[in-house]
Amino acid sequence: MLKLLYITTNLNSSGGVARVLSLKLNYLVEVYFYDIHVINTHGDSNNLFYFFNDKISIHSLNQNDCKHIRVFNYVKKLNNKINEINPDIIVNCDNGLKGALLPFLYYGNAPLIYENHSSKDLRENSIIGNLKLQLKDFFFSRSVLRYEKIVVFQIPEGVYKSKNIKVIHNPLAFKIPIKNTLFNKKIVLAVGRISYEKGYDTLIKIWNLVIKKHSDWQLHIYGDGDCKQVKQQIKNLKVLASIVFFKPTLNIKQVYLNASILINTSRHESFGMSLIEAMACGLPVLAFKNTLGPKIFIKNNENGFLIEKDNLKAYANKIISLIEDKNEMKRVGEKAKESVERFDLNNIMKEWHELFKSVKPN
């Protein structure tokens, strides 16, 4: 039985990485019987949003020691914990600066796999944030060959030139439902954390254009984060009555089945779990064409819609045209559902199992 160690930043959130890891790690222990450990560097083993099988051992490091000013404490505790676990393979899921430094900080011999959940075109809204991204890219580019495999969702042209790249997509979180949404609810969905990256400021501007023509429709936003700035924007535009915020829910499939459209206005999107989940429920989905992730599975005007970057009027008009044409909603929704069958959990996890079997522990 192979012993796997995953290193990640925050399993306690409702974010996409925590969700994907809960799906994959539970499957690995329940179906393939791996011995799995997780080092949760910015959280503990309590108050996890998603379910993790009791057979999965979750370890935490002192969060204060994870700060850059205490890097030596972090390195020491990280290596002590890894030595204590003694894994056959280490999977690095930390896509931040500490994660990029891992091959330089780890003293042992266990083979490393890098699991990328970050978009190459990611940008922050602060100078410090963008400086960290530049440092991350610098160190990662110099550690590529230290990994047995680098797992990505797609290989953007001119980005990865190493031969150790492996493409494995994220899996669907649930079985594709037999029945689709009925399109009888005047609800447009947005699902994802409230952050600069997800572009909610842009989403509100688009919605302001939509409700000028269809004031009887509502926008439902599911996500956590700091809503103050977004809510102030909503108040300024006087669209408060048509927008409802909801906390993240474990029963997200039912949310999709009770809506008619899903929209994504992310500035950067490495994959887009909410998009393939909505598509699995037969919803038409929209995203910006410049985001790398959605282009993996959306064929414009066939199983979804890709809108030119920053063309808010075109985005709003596409939503309006769908609202006014239920047959078009159904047509695109059916194509969407068919197109995401390849993301079935069993198919994706077979790829991971084959990958782990191909990596020989030192």
* List of domains in the chain: 3-171+344-358 (3.40.50.2000), 187-341 (3.40.50.2000)
CA-to-CA distance for 204 and 321, rounded, in angstroms?
Answer: 18
**Residues 95, 127, 195, 65: is their CA dihedral positive or negative?**
positive
Q: Please give the Cα distance from 261 to 321 (Å, whole number).
A: 12
> Is the sign of the CA dihedral 126, 130, 135, 140 positive or negative?
positive
- Report DSSP state, residue 241: G
> Which are the contacts of 161, defined by CB distance < 8 A and separation ≥ 6?
none
Mean pLDDT by 10 residues, the chain (362 residues): 91 86 96 96 83 94 57 84 96 87 91 83 68 76 88 67 84 91 94 90 96 96 87 88 93 96 92 94 96 91 96 98 97 96 95 93 72
Angle at 46 between CA 49 and CA 132, to 5 degrees: 75
Instruction: Give the list of residues 6+ apart from residue 350 with CB closer than 8 angstroms, or none.
Output: none
CA–CA separation, 275 and 317 (whole Å): 20
> What does the block give as tokens for 232?
């102030």
Burial class (CB in 10 A: 0-12, 13-18, 19+), 126: exposed
Helices (H), the chain: 16-30, 71-85, 97-105, 127-141, 200-210, 228-237, 252-257, 273-280, 312-323, 326-339, 345-358
Q: Does an H or E element contain 59, and which?
A: strand 57-60
Compute the distance between CA of residue 299 and CA of residue 235 in angstroms, rounded to an integer.
35
Q: What distance in Å separates the CA atoms of residue 3 and residue 72, rounded to the nearest whole number?
A: 27
Name the pTM for this structure.
Answer: 0.88
Q: How far is CA 33 from CA 28, 171, 355, in A?
A: 6, 19, 15
Beta-bridge mates of residue 152: 167
199: nearest Cα among 134, 288, 260: 288
